[in-house]
Amino acid sequence: MKMADLGDVRLHYREDGDPAGAPIVFANSLGTDMRLWDPVLPHLPEGLRIIRYDKRGHGLSTCPKPPYSMGALVRDVEQLLDMLEVREAMFVGLSIGGLIAQGLAAKRLDMVRSVVLSNTGAKIGTREVWDTRIGAVRDGGMEAVADATMERWFSKDFARTPELEIWRNMLTRTPVEGFIGCSHAIAGTDFYTPTAALRLPVLGIAGSEDGGTPPDLVRETVDLVPGSQFALIRRAGHLPCVEKPEEYAELLTNFLRETGHV
């Protein structure tokens, strides 16, 4: 675990695997930190250079005052990867991480070789939806949105397990200003045009029970890119890497091999 000083923000990041291996970068969802990917990593091929980070306002990264722009979130990871001298990475982004992935791919094709757009869209929700959530959190803290978020995030099967509390706790311990800042970034983002201009390998992953970014939204987004692939993980919600980590890792591994990354 290390901290990258980028000037207006300091990002907590971690590298695992082979420092000389092909890079794979993970960007997590709103209200989670890099531990989101813990269930998946043991199932990935050996020899990869695995990079994870906490976006601003989340995890152990610093929390500037909101609002944040999507441009700032993209620039954060761009500066981090420049510092780490990363080129031609596979970038795996889930939810807001998928928006960051689209923005970075449009900006830095030298940095991004292929993209996995997981449980995301070119545009997620409406300004009205996000303003309502921002208002609820500002008035009542993270607890005000916790139960509704868990219903959107997880399948009914997973919601009955003790593990649900891990993710509810992670959400409620997210700094209010970090959640509000990133919510503003999502509300202000529409990537339909830049994503439709992408020409690189793209894999979309959706969960059949995702109440946040339904499968049709993910499919519509990846279909913007010619030659893209789409995979549906059944009996999983917004975080299939948590509910079905082996199946999720298998999709990533196959895509890594198909694109010549391993």
pLDDT digits (tens, 9 = 90+) for 13-22: 999 999 999 9
Q: Specify burial of residue 230 (Cβ count, 10 A radius: 0-12, 13-18, 19+).
A: middle
Six-digit token pair at 98? 């998928």
Distance from the Cα of residue 224 to its chain's centroid: 19
Distance of CA 36 to CAs 41, 64, 190, 215, 227, Å?
10, 22, 25, 20, 28
Which residues of the chain register pLDDT less than 70? none
Which pLDDT belongs to residue 176?
Answer: 98
Please report the pLDDT score of residue 5 as a whole number: 98
From the centroid of its chain, how far is CA 137? 21
Q: Which two tokens stand for residue 2?
A: 């290390």
Quote the pLDDT of residue 203: 98
Instruction: Give the residue from 189, 33, 187 showing the smallest Cα distance to 103.
Output: 189
Q: Report pLDDT for 259.
A: 97
Average pLDDT, the chain: 98
What is the tens place of the pLDDT at every residue in 79-106? Answer: 999 999 999 999 999 999 999 999 999 9
pLDDT at site 142: 98
pLDDT at 123: 98
* pTM of the full structure: 0.98
pLDDT of residue 215: 98
